[in-house]
């Protein structure tokens, strides 16, 4: 007993090892028990571990997929921005080519007259397009009283010049008066700006025959042979309304050129007639023009 007591720890360890060997021997001799043990304990754990592995793998694949999608989306956005910029550039070039083609058509229409192409770089402070500043001046042969035209017809007249810029007074300005006629009836008169109508992009025409003028809506109005600076027959616009009031009868004119969207024009650099050589039709007082020295230019 004394010996057992001295080696108690070793004895317990030995017994444990013996039990383990016996248990292992029993399990090897009874495979059904091992299968039951595996089915009851090992297989569910294995299944759980497998499911966890699949879930983790799915999450890793999902995150990798998201990163790929983010990268692809970023690349597509960059490509889309580049294509949009290119599309805008092509659209701008198409518009520019269209405008140049239209100017070329006007140039060919008046091929007998020398012209200078110009770009509008400013307009009047009231935003009613009664005055333009262009990027050409005396260095390009432009002088005051030369005329400006665009696709459609008349724009106005040059009133001031510097070496590389000029100021054009348009049909909207009430101080510019142009000798004109109705192309259908040959009624003569004057086209001029109007301080009220200009806000609607319109001007007016008054006639030598006053109330007796034979005019109708949609009649076209062109420069007359009495015009000092404009060649005859250049389109000014069309009549959109005929009004009779205490001052007489006048027509409301829609200009042939959309002055609100105009960007380029042509200045005819030929001086047609000196004022002393031009026939002078009977003047028509303008109720809207402001009298004064040099305030009204009859063209």
Q: What is the DSSP string of 124-189?
A: -TTSSSSEEEES--GGGT--TT-EEEETTEEEEEEEEE-SS-EEEEETT-TTEEEEEEETTT--EE
pLDDT band, very low/low/confident/very high, at 4 (cuts 50, 70, 90): very low
pLDDT at 92: 61
Q: How far apart are CA 114 and CA 92, in angstroms?
A: 28
Q: How far apart are CA 35 and CA 42, in angstroms?
A: 10
Residues 197-237: pLDDT tens digits?
988 999 999 988 878 888 899 999 999 988 888 888 899 99
Q: How far apart are CA 24 and CA 210, in angstroms?
A: 130
pLDDT at 295: 38
Residue 207 bridge partners (DSSP) = 189
The 3-state DSSP class for residue 44 equals helix
pLDDT at 44: 63
Of the candidates 204, 197, 224, 216, the residue with the CA atom closest to the CA atom of residue 282: 224
Torsion of CA 184, 185, 187, 192, to 10 degrees: -30
For residues 192 and 286, the answer to whether their CB atoms sit within 8 Å is yes
Of the candidates 269, 186, 266, the residue with the CA atom closest to the CA atom of residue 229: 269
In a 13 Å sphere around the CA of 122, the CA atoms on its Cβ side amount to: 8
Residue 261 is classified by DSSP as T
Question: If you compute the radius of gyration of the chain from its CA atoms, what whole number of angstroms results?
Answer: 46
pLDDT at 132: 93
| Residue whose tokens read 């999450």 | 59
Q: How many CB atoms lie within 10 A of CB 296?
A: 17
pLDDT band, very low/low/confident/very high, at 84 (cuts 50, 70, 90): confident
Residues 23-80: pLDDT tens digits?
555 554 445 555 555 555 555 655 665 666 666 667 677 777 777 787 888 888 888 8
Q: Where are the domains of the chain?
A: 48-109, 115-298
Average pLDDT score, the chain? 76
Q: Would you say residue 262 has pLDDT above 50?
A: yes
Q: Are strands 176-182 and 297-298 parallel, antiparallel or unpaired?
A: parallel
pTM, to two decimals: 0.61
For residues 240 and 264, the answer to whether their CB atoms sit within 8 Å is no
- Tell me: domain 115-298, CATH 2.40.10.340, correct? yes
Q: What angle is formed at CA 237 by the lines to CA 231 and CA 240, rounded to 5 degrees?
A: 150
In a 13 Å sphere around the CA of 296, the CA atoms on its Cβ side amount to: 20
Q: How many CB atoms lie within 10 A of CB 104?
A: 13
The 10 Å CB-count burial string (b at 16+, else e) for 220-236 is bbbbbebbbbbbeebbb
Q: Are strands 297-298 and 147-150 parallel, antiparallel or unpaired?
A: unpaired
Q: How far apart are CA 223 and CA 202, in angstroms?
A: 17
Q: How far apart are CA 73 and CA 81, in angstroms?
A: 12
Share of residues in the chain with pLDDT > 70 (%): 64
């Amino acid at each position: 007993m004394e010996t057992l007591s001295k080696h108690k720890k070793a004895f317990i360890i030995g017994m444990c090892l013996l039990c383990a060997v016996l248990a292992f021997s029993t399990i090897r001799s009874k495979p059904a028990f091992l299968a039951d043990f595996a089915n009851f304990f090992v297989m569910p754990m294995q299944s759980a571990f497998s499911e966890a592995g699949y879930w983790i793998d799915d999450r890793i694949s999902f995150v990798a997929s998201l990163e790929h999608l983010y990268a692809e989306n970023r690349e597509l956005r960059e490509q889309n921005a580049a294509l949009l910029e290119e599309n805008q550039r092509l659209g701008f070039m198409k518009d520019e080519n269209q405008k140049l083609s239209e100017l070329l058509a006007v140039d060919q229409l008046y091929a007998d007259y020398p012209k200078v192409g110009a770009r509008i770089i400013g307009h009047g402070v009231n935003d009613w397009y009664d005055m333009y500043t262009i990027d050409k001046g005396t260095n390009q042969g432009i002088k005051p009283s030369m005329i400006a035209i665009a696709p459609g017809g008349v724009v106005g007249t040059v009133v001031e010049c510097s070496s590389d810029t000029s100021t054009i007074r348009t049909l909207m300005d009430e101080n510019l008066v142009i000798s004109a006629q109705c192309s259908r009836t040959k009624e003569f008169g004057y086209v001029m700006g109007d301080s009220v109508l200009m806000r609607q992009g319109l001007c007016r025409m008054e006639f030598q025959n006053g109330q007796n003028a034979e005019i109708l809506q949609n009649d076209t109005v062109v420069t007359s042979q009495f015009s000092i600076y404009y060649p005859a027959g250049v389109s000014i616009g069309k009549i959109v309304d005929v009004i009779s009031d205490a001052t007489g009868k006048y027509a409301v004119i829609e200009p042939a050129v959309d002055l609100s969207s105009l960007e380029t024009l042509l200045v005819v650099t030929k001086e047609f007639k000196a004022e002393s050589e031009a026939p002078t039709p009977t003047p028509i007082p303008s109720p809207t023009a402001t009298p004064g020295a040099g305030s009204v230019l009859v063209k």
